Amino acid sequence: MKIELTTQQKDAQAKFRAFVDEEIVPLANRYDQEERTPPKLIKNLAQLGYLGAILPKEFGGKAMDMITYGLLNEEIGRGCSSLRSLLTVHSMVARALDKWGNKSQKDYWLPKLASGEIIAAFGLSEPNVGSDAKSIETTAILSGDSYVLNGQKKWITYGQIADVFLVFAQCSGKASAFLVEKNSPGLTIKPISGMLGVRASMLAELHFQDCRIPQDNLVGKLGFGFSYIASSALDYGRYSVAWGSVGIAQACLEACIQYTSERKQFGVYLKEHQLIRQMITEMIANVKAARLLCYQAGYLKDNSDPSSIVETSIAKYFASTTATKIANDAVQIHGANGCSSEYSVARYLRDAKIMEIIEGSTQIQQITIADYGYQEYMLQPTPAVISQKLLART
């Protein structure tokens, strides 16, 4: 089997790369240091249609196939992991509404999400709840024609600037999903700063104190919040993070190729030293391997294959751990320069570590993949049964 991009996918990839090289790469370190993403950059991302990448054309989206969407995530991740995180969470909310929203919700929200008129964020994690997402503590109580929310969300990507949040809360003991606009009475947004990586992703805490929202803001049905809405959205989030991790690894490889071709030690360029060549070799092989796993996951998603869920977990696990290893080697190759903010590899290492935590940590992926292995190679259930079980875990 030969894996080869179509002409359209190659053209799209070239456009993505040009955009990243011209508008993101030159200033990405500044965004990281300032811990913010300029509104103009987000506007440019929206004008190109990238915020509506996976939405149907009827709502103003680009209706990208999954491979093209993956290439977009790789290129933006190569330039700035924070901006790629915006693409991730915005698309997760858009995907959730497209699949689970009712007609009025779709007609109102999706065109605005596709155009970038509004920015969306994903509100699942809490101070006491991370990987154990089913144990969320935020509550929603039906009161008249409104739901009243109480609780707290934390680590909300682009929560500082989002216009609407997809918030998960317990309602009568059932995990459910709700749309909460930023100006809802009872919602307070607190910026988070000083993070290890993806510093420009403008994280926030959300505090709900008798926050009242319309009853119509329930997405799907009561009890659909985790098993259906959050799980399917997180699957797409993992896919985006996997490709973004490939982007980080590719950026490290390119930085090391350039650096070792320019810097001399012991009278020769670094690239002439055998141990350096060994490190570069491992980078090249692992970048290609991670990208191939992402291709596989994307191909299966485009074909609605149930096994795409576990293949996405495998791609996310391998790509994120690979990005961390490659970024660590990149800093080592750069020496003291690699520990300086003047060189991007320091940022790549910090960002790569975050990739191992978000959208299901490395350890959660290991549990998921091991479960799949025992089920697949010992019990031989159908792919649909495997996927159903995997969706129950973030």
Residues designated catalytic: 359
The DSSP bridge pattern shows strands 120-123 and 164-171 to be: parallel
Antiparallel, parallel or unpaired: β 146-156 and 204-214: antiparallel
**Residue 19 corresponds to which tokens in the numbers above?**
């955009």
Strand partners for 143: 146
Q: Contact 133/153 with Cβ under 8 angstroms?
A: no
Instruction: Return phi, psi of residue 214, to 5°.
Output: -60, 150
Tokens standing for 21?
A: 């090289």
d(CA 74, CA 244): 5
Three-state secondary structure readout of 85-101: HHHHHHHHHHHHHHHHC
Amino acid at 238: R
Joined together, the tokens standing for residue 95 give 């995907």
Count Cβ atoms below 10 Å from residue 33 Cβ, excluding itself: 12
